[in-house]
Amino acid sequence: MSGVLDPVQLRSFVAVARALSFTRAAAELGIRQSTVSQHVRKLETVAGRPLLVRDTHTVALTPDGEAMLEFARTILDTGERALAHFGGEQVRGRLRFGVSEDLVLTRLPTILAEFRRRHPRVDLELTVGLSENLEQLVDHGEIDLLFAKRSPGRTGGTPVWRDRFVWVGGPDLAHLGPDDAVPLVSYPPPSLSRAAAIAALEEHGRPWRMACTSGSLSGLRAAALAGLGVVAHAETLIPAGLVPIPPSSRLPELGSFVFVLSTGHRVPTDPAKALADTIQAASTRLRER
């Protein structure tokens, strides 16, 4: 490797890696797609290795691209912290942040700790709950920033990534035959995953029973690991120890959804904007298990 890692090129590369699309990365950065492509090519020249595999339809990171992504995040984050330190007015104020239960076992706590180190004058108040309940809180002005699944029919918010529900359970779950009643392990209403699971089962005429209800992801995971039943869960955030249910069980397909950041109908505060930017920049890390 020879040359200097240019922060502008790194920023374009991180945007492409996050969106897995040159078009979306260009739109996010507010520059032309050809410029983004040029930045990535120059970065690959400096690295001396291909960082992305691309064709007319898809973009994927190479192993060297995965490594460069970590370096790029560190370099850009260090630069931003230096600018914040020497750049005069720091972000300050109270930030009431609501996050859905299925995100708390990701790398979000680490990202929040980084945010607090970068913005020590922000008084962060965290609320964890079901997405639907948090939406009510942001609508009523009781939280300033929401990071959660977006309910069907709801609009607004900034998409962070698209996901879908899948069936998961403990590795020792007894065989579930194609005609057996499905034992559900679920959050209480008004849970999106619970509603999606029940709607799919009833639409396909599959009998089911509620085996366990828990308001925490830790409770759902413990019940599933004990073999009590199956869970409808975000595919990219499957808790440690749980595995997809095999196709032989013939469970119906579940719906897709989007994780979004939202301030409701209000103009975002400076602390809310700062945290939203931090989460967007770290979205790939949130999905790493």
Mean predicted lDDT score pLDDT of the chain = 89
- Residue 235 pLDDT: 93
- Residue 288 pLDDT: 64
- Residue 175 pLDDT: 76
User: Which residues is 182 bridged to in the sheet?
Assistant: 208
- Which residue's structure tokens are 């249910």? 245
pLDDT tens digits, 78-130: 787 676 666 655 788 999 999 999 898 888 888 898 888 888 889 999 999 99
- Residue 86 pLDDT: 66
- Name the token pair of 241: 């120890």
Helix, strand, or coil here: 169?
Answer: strand
The rounded distance, in Å, linking the Cα atoms of 200 and 183 is: 14
Q: Mean pLDDT lowest for which of 5-14, 110-119, 171-180, 181-190? A: 171-180
- Residue 140 pLDDT: 92
pLDDT tens digits, 44-72: 999 999 999 988 778 999 999 999 998 88
- Which residue's structure tokens are 């920023």? 11
Instruction: Name which of 115, 66, 40, 52 is nearest 288 in CA terms.
Output: 66
Alpha-carbon dihedral sign for residues 114, 115, 120, 124: negative
Is the per-residue pLDDT at 1 higher than 80?
no
- Name the token pair of 77: 């984050």
- Residue 128 pLDDT: 94
pLDDT tens digits, 221-276: 999 999 999 999 999 999 989 999 988 889 999 989 999 999 988 888 999 999 99
- Please count the other Cβ atoms lying within 10 Å of the Cβ belonging to residue 141: 12
Domains of the chain and CATH, by start: 7-86 (1.10.10.10), 93-161+258-286 (3.40.190.10), 163-255 (3.40.190.10)
- Residue 174 pLDDT: 67
What's the pTM? 0.69
Is the per-residue pLDDT at 132 higher than 70?
yes
- Residue 28 pLDDT: 80
- Name the token pair of 18: 């996050």
